[in-house]
Chain A
Amino acid sequence: MRHTGILFFPAFDWSLGESHPEREERLLYTQEQLFEEGILDLPRIKQFSPRIASIHEGLRAQALFPTPQFHLEALDAHLIAAGSAILLGEARVRGDIANGFVLARPPGHHSGATVWGNRGFCTLNNEAILVNHLRAHFGIKKIAIVDTDVHHGDGTQDIFYHDPNVLFISLHQDGRTLYPGSGFVNEKGGPNAWGQTLNIPLPPGTGDEGYHYVLENWVLPRLQVFAPDLIINSAGQDNHFTDPLASMNLTAGGYGRITELLQPDLAVLEGGYSIEGALPYVNLAILLALAGEDYYHVREPQKLDRSVLTLSSIKPYIEGLKNQHQTINPHWTIQNKYFFPKGDWIYIPHSVYYDTEGFQEIRHDYIRQCSYCGGTVYIESSRSSFPGKSILVRIPFMACSECEQAGYELWDHLQHQREDADYGLLQNQLHDKQDLWQRKEGLR
């Protein structure tokens, strides 16, 4: 039997605060709904229990600045959500399940390559940690992540922006009208992964029909061309018409259809803050669609009373976006610093606002242009009103020998020559190794 795995980890004893939208009650009604329906008695459904991810597994995808220890106490729930994604991902790759749904809190898709704290309710990126785990341990090469949360999956985009083997597609409410204010069509990927990021910002009020149209006419064809080994759906529930933070007007049935169209190997819960009106129904519909059961009877009690854009008004908008996407050309700035190993280094400045705690991260990203691999990444990062500078050096999966060499030269330079850097992480994805460095104590 083709089982659908479910890993339900509501973290009932963890929240960011009593009136915070990401609070412990978030999956309470989903649990009531799923248990009452007898979902776990469906012969198709197989339940899994959570496990905690190790810091090592987290660092494979993300640099925790200034040090992992700095975050450790606040990370328990996040590590369990990430570990849960890994556990179900492994079950999928081993063939124990045909597909699965990681229904875990807290979410993760706003958490990027460097982490100074919680952003958009996220500290660790569950999908990214999962993807890098599967690539490190199971030799999977090509993975597509389709982010259907109403918010732009900026953290996931950041982590895989230079990775030619990860296709990242995000459908979201236009960044000009919603947090985090990014995710425009011109964000198409770094110099070695141009076109492997696809952003589809949608106008408020898009609704079921519009969403399905975009999926069928843009997302699915793009997926087909990429032909990934695995499709992961960052399944945020905040497109629902009852969501208090957004206005996309999707229904639970609409979500079921999205799942049916995408056929993800794994769906991973992201946002969704209409705790009563949407989550129990949307989660049920997604799970049923994954299990190949009817989701047509899943009907939220509230009626859709917001206005939904007609398909005829969305079509020209999408055509416009597609055109924009096709015609846009990269314009890179080459900036080779005196200590950079040979090659051309593309400079991309990047700053990130941490809304939960209210501070700014300033980043200088450099990518070694390479026609053989994803290219070594060098990131200098500092946090407003926080002393010191932290550095990430990333040698990519399937790195060519020159890029690997470049990575080690940078790492060596950091430790012996740099006076202004205090902390560093070397992510050697090629050999699944990470080194942490701290000026005071040296290499640990």
Chain B
Amino acid sequence: MPNQVGIDVGGTYTDAVFIQNGKIQNTAKVPTRAENLVETLLDAFDALKITNVPSINNVTVSTTLVTNAILQDRISPVSLLLFSGNGMSIDALPWPLSYLELSGEIDFRGREIEPPDLREWEKLQTSDFSENLVHVAIVGKFSHRNCLHEEQLAAYLRNLYPSIHVALGHEWGQANFFRRSMTTYLNLGVSDMYTNFSEQLQTALSARKIHAPVSILKADGGTLPLAKIRPIDSIYSGPAASVLAGLAQSDPKDSSIIIDIGGTTTDLGLVLSGNPLLSTKGAQIGPFSTLVRSLSVRSIPVGGDSVIRATDQGFFLESYRLGPAYCLGGNVPTPTDAMRYLGLIDYGNERLAEEGLASILPTERRTPKYLRELATAIIDRVVDRIADAVDSLKHEWEEEPAYKVWEVLHPHETKAFYTVVSGGGARGLITALGKRLNNPVQLGLFSEVSNALGAAMARPTFDCTLHLDTYMKYYRVAETGEQGKWTGSLRPHREVENFINTLAQKQAKQYEVAIYDLEKEPFDFFPIVQDYRTVGQIVRGAVHLRPGVIGRVHV
């Protein structure tokens, strides 16, 4: 295994880890400077004190840059133009942004039903809207089946405004007009900022003589080269990294629940027989529903620093943080104080922990007996919240829709789950968690830098999903939006396998991904019958390189 550096830029701290042949050599933690991510990354890198920089084979970064920009509404203005066609009236959906509807319609097979209205396009140039026309996202309903209208309008606008940035929806090749529109919009909105970040980072790394390839971690737990990634794909890489860290420490065939307990939030993920669970719908970020492939992860607002508030019935576990735990100099009692009082952790001032907890109790009950009871109850409450979220994640997995008889007859078997816990709050909760979840709980290695560890161990993901309509004589690739002519037979059999392999090779080359262990999804063949005669087929199939890690780590 090569020499890997993983860096995770978190909200408060940025973690880094250097791994040599599967052994963790060095870890580091530096404060995150939100206004200067490039400097932060370099700080973290420097803190690793790597003596032989040229020996580094790879640097993987998980960054909150895009996530924060979207959540803090700091994205460039984008005009969204939609060919919304007939069907459901699109304002039935909860759009968090404004759009302009244009006429022109394509159907589910990719046939043009109604051409665009050029008079509408002419009005675009005269309206105020065109004055500051810089970023334009154009998305058509069923454009993933035929991008004709999108490309026509793009060509038209580029001709009028040569400097304009246009993004087209079909490049996100999957069904769901609503999510495709938002994904196209967001990706375009963050692209300038991302390009800027990427360029600065390249410059800074060169200055440090780091010539190893730099990859960015994606929401689906995979990596792609800094220059090849679509910026929006980098959202939620933090929770994905913690799942990968858990994966890197467990048996390759195990099913595990990965829990990362931070100060304010706890992230959860599921690994099923060595494969992290992917969410079937795309990622949701703020008010935006996207097509971004992401791991099925949960974040709940519970952590070691969650505020404990006294109530008439006892106490309430709040979902926010007000600074550090009482035993660490804070002003309010927290689960960390309960852990400290019970001796489950060894940091923090014991007397302060007691004082903090006592403030919850009525004066007459401030005795060791009641304090112990209270501390235990607090820990149970935290563990309950986490366990509920685990159950709901498992439930969601069991409730995945099935569209084939085979899938219903082979349901997700109840698996034996191991639990890997990491994060600042982990140590004091493992016993209670193990009891509540009723399965073995293991404390993760280097749990304070587990996200950096996950980033370092991540490998690329790769998907190539083919939709082929031999009657219409076209094919589409869902991941890249590539559309092309099909010249093969009407009822292909073996030749589609070669075809998808060729497409995958080409796509992998373009993304600079080395593909191996490709997992093949069986092809579906749908006969297209007219007048009781088969006139063609719709063929669907895919190859995947699932999210995973390059190996296992040990101390």
Q: Which residues of A contact B (CB under 8 A)?
A: 8-14, 18-19, 23-25, 28-29, 31-33, 35-43, 47-52, 76-77, 80, 276, 280-281, 284, 288, 293-294, 296-299, 301
Contacts and interface: CB of A to CB of B under 8 A. Distances in A.
Contact of A47 (B176, B179, B401): B401
Nearest to A14: B405
B402 A293 contact: no
B362 interface: no
B175 A32 contact: yes
A41 B178 contact: yes
A19 B524 CA distance: 16
Nearest to A84: B408
Contacts of A276: 109
Given A19-B533, A297-B86, A25 B178 contact: no
Contacts of B281: 40
A32 B408 contact: no
Contact of B527 (A23, A39, A42, A293): A23
Nearest to A28: B526
A301 B404 CA distance: 29
B409 A76 contact: yes
Interface string B79-115: 0000000111100111000000000010111000100
B40 interface: no
16 contacts: A9-B402, A12-B526, A25-B528, A29-B109, A32-B142, A33-B87, A38-B177, A41-B179, A49-B399, A49-B400, A51-B408, A52-B409, A76-B409, A80-B408, A284-B87, A297-B88
B136 to A, nearest CB: 21
A241 B402 CA distance: 31
Given A12-B524, A13-B406, A284-B88, 7 more contacts: A12-B404, A18-B529, A32-B175, A43-B94, A49-B399, A76-B405, A281-B87
B538 A28 contact: yes
A348 B93 CA distance: 54
B516 interface: no
Contacts of A293: 88-89, 92
Contacts of A29: 108-109
Contacts of B526: 12, 24-25, 28
Interface in B366-414: 399-406, 408-409
Interface in B504-554: 524, 526-529, 532-534, 538
B289 interface: yes
Contact of B141 (A28, A36, A296, A298): A36
Contacts of B401: 8, 47-50
A36 B529 contact: no
Contacts of B144: 36
Given A37-B87, A80-B408, A288-B88, A18 B175 contact: no
B277 to A, nearest CB: 15
Interface in B479-515: none
Contact of A52 (B142, B404, B408): B408
Contacts of A40: 281
Contacts of A24: 526-527
B interface majority secondary structure: loop
Interface in B182-226: none
Contact of A38 (B93, B408, B528): B93
A42 B94 CA distance: 7
Contacts of A48: 399, 401
A11 B534 contact: no
Given A25-B538, A36-B141, A50-B402, A41 B108 contact: no
What size tier do the contact residues of chain B reach?
A: 35 or more
B525 to A, nearest CB: 9
A298 B88 CA distance: 6
Nearest to A31: B403
A117 B400 CA distance: 32
A192 B176 CA distance: 52
B88 A12 contact: no
Nearest to A39: B88
Contacts of B533: 19
B87 A32 contact: no
Contacts of A42: 92-93
Give the 3 A-B residue pairs with the shortest CB-CB distance, closest first: A38-B178, A32-B108, A35-B175
B529 A294 contact: no
B229 to A, nearest CB: 25
B296 to A, nearest CB: 15
Contacts of B141: 36-37
A49 B408 CA distance: 9
Contact of A19 (B89, B289, B402, B532): B532
Contacts of B88: 37-39, 284, 288, 293-294, 297-298
Contacts of B406: 13
A194 to B, nearest CB: 41
Contacts of A33: 87, 108
Contacts of A14: 404-405
A28 B524 CA distance: 11
B492 to A, nearest CB: 15
Contacts of A297: 86-89
Contacts of B408: 9, 50-52, 80
B538 A36 contact: no
A294 B405 contact: no
A51 B407 CA distance: 10
A49 B400 CA distance: 6
Contacts of B107: 301
Contacts of B529: 18-19, 23, 25
A428 B130 CA distance: 73
A51 B400 CA distance: 11
A37 B177 contact: yes
A49 B404 CA distance: 11
A294 B528 CA distance: 31
Contacts of B404: 11-14
Contacts of B534: 18-19
Given A13-B404, A18-B527, A80-B405, A294 B92 contact: yes
Nearest to B114: A301
- Max chain A Cβ within 10 angstroms of own Cβ: one of B105, B177, B527: B527
